[in-house]
Amino acid sequence: MRLVIAAPHGRSGKTTITIGLIAALRQKGLVIQPFKKGPDFIDPGWLSLVAGRPCRNLDLYFLSPEKLRLHFAASCRGADVGLVEGAMGLFDGLDLEGSDSTAAVARALMAPVVLVIDATRMTRSAAALVRGFQNFDPGVSIAGVILNQVARARHEDILRRSIEHYTGLPVLGALPKKKDFGIPDRHLGLIPAAENERLHVALEATGKAIAAAVDLDALLAIASRAPELTAPEQENRPAPRRVRLGVFQDRVFTFYYPENLEALVAAGAELVKIDSLADEKLPDVQGLYLGGGFPEVFAPQLEANRSLRREVREAVAAGMPVYAECGGLMYLARRLNYRGRWYEMCGALPLDVTMSSCPQGHGYTAMYVEGDSPFLTRGSTIRGHEFHHSRVINLERREVNFLYRVRRGYGIDGQVDGILYRQVLAGYNHLYAPSSPEWAPNLVALAAGN
């Protein structure tokens, strides 16, 4: 069984409803495999937490439809339902044809779609909206509607009757206007799930609200209509452990694709978690992986952990292989400016970082590998994404090289990304291991030779 949760536009309540559906379905004893359309780290963190299984990203910018289906089927092993949260509006994509839209993902998966409608200040017009989406693309099967932000019983009644009469689609549920199960936002979206455990109470409230408001049996009946997908045969041969690779995973650094971590393990790495706030020393590792996150929010605590910052700086100086993305780049900098105050970071890279009030890079990227390095092959193109409010300043360019020439996106300055310094590759580009299959083996091999 599988289902896509989509909406006419962003901020319709997809994430809240998807979280609640997962919680409610788990209460019925079902195992749910969550997915998120598009490059995203924050929503998948919440979906992973409530599902008890790592959320996977589904993106046709990174994978062909065939590989996407195989990835989906393999990820659903042991699950009863695959539940996909869409991104933006259902048909919003990269171009006029809507390539890489949530609709394109639904077509590739042959999955029915449930449309979430924000019913604020709307009654009969909701039927016209649903009917337009219903008829827009014959290849997309919109199978039901969930109403959000319903004012009162009379409001719900006219919405239900209008939609069911004019579209023939069932209204599976209606959520009243409420704020007590909301998860607060920040400049990149929701607060990350791993950052503040006190926010986890929102999950229970959301699950209860969905269980009370949505016909789960009807929802499951829709999910069961999807034709079966064949999963690739599972390889049971574990790779020999060649290296211990330190991965910064804590409240600060939370932005990791599970596929990236699994690719490193498959290449022979033993992953050793490092807490940038609590650990005073680096463990016995031969390389480091620093993902993205919000180091600016924790800048005072990061600055206070002087011993770990010193050890990272000394490890880089001694030639330890390091791969860092976005927040990891910021942590390796000399200093970080946030809200007018400077904080000391590792000092491993000859640059400073300052935060801006607006995005400096946002969206898909295409990075042409124009330099030589042990990380990636010269002449290849790396597809990824970026979303950052920080920018690099005071960069001592004579001391560094750049691996990437920006073909799409912004990177460091709109021209280049991927700072090469000693055995460090640090940039704003977030790559996705399945679309860059040489990255993990190369990083493991480089660390093994350290």
DSSP H helices, 362-449, are 439-448
Q: Are 250 and 277 in contact (CB under 8 A)?
A: yes
**What are the E-state strand segments in 80-177?**
81-85, 113-118, 142-150, 171-176
Euclidean distance between CA atoms 24 and 29, whole angstroms? 9
Length of the chain in terms of residues written: 450
Tokens of 174: 């209606």
- Give the pair of three-digit tokens for residue 197: 């455990």
| Cα 245 to Cα 217, 265, 315, 349, 410, distances in angstroms | 45, 9, 13, 20, 29
Distance CA 45, CA 53 (A): 10
**47 Cβ neighbours under 8 A, 6+ residues apart:** 15, 18, 19, 22, 34, 35, 36, 55, 85
Tell me the sheet residues that pair with 190: 185
CA 79 to CA 67: how far, in whole Å?
19
Q: Would you please indicate which residues are annotated as catalytic (active-site) residues? A: 326
CA nearest to 220, candidates 259, 267, 172, 167: 172
Cα 38 to the center of its chain, rounded Å = 7
Contact (Cβ atoms closer than 8 angstroms) between residue 382 and residue 427:
no
H or E segment at 23? helix 14-27
Amino acid in the structure at residue 406:
V
